[in-house]
Structure 1
């Protein structure tokens, strides 16, 4: 059974997702193309951007690299 996340975690996840979305749009990439670059489904990218998914560190590192942005910039 999934554990309920505290509100501050959900809020931070949404903020990080918004940063990913902004960086993706700045790089002129679609969710589909970013998904291809990181070997993830575009639906996964959508869920990450809107804070409804909790991506692992490996996927976050791949996303940061594909967007040519330091991971620290996305999670600051």
Structure 2
């Protein structure tokens, strides 16, 4: 049985996290490809997270924060 879609507030928070990742990546002059390589992910995964099309695994958020050199809390606050 498929699960119910997340509530709107969850989607909104997911979008905020994606926006923070994108802004931090751009501030550091990184492309999605560059961030993906640094984080050990593929570019499509970075794109899905930034566009809020996917709910990222916590492990992947750790990888992204580490690759960007920022505390995870800065991305998910």
TM-score (norm 2): 0.93
How far did 1:41 drift? 1.1
> Mind listing any 5+ residue stretches in structure 1 that lack a counterpart?
none
Partner of 1:6: 7
Cα distance between partner residues in 1 of 2:40 and 2:46: 10
Cα distance between partner residues in 2 of 1:52 and 1:2: 16
TM-score (norm 1): 0.94
Partner of 1:41: 42
Secondary structure at 1:73's aligned position in 2?
helix
Partner of 1:28: 29
Cα distance between partner residues in 2 of 1:56 and 1:74: 14
Cα distance between partner residues in 2 of 1:2 and 1:27: 37
How far did 1:75 drift? 0.6
How far did 1:37 drift? 1.1
Cα distance between partner residues in 2 of 1:69 and 1:11: 22
Q: Can you list the C-alpha shifts for 1:18-58, whole angstroms capped at 9, x where unaligned?
A: 00000000111100011111111101101100111111111
Spell out structure 1 runs of 4+ moving beyond 3 A. Answer: none
How far did 1:2 drift? 4.1
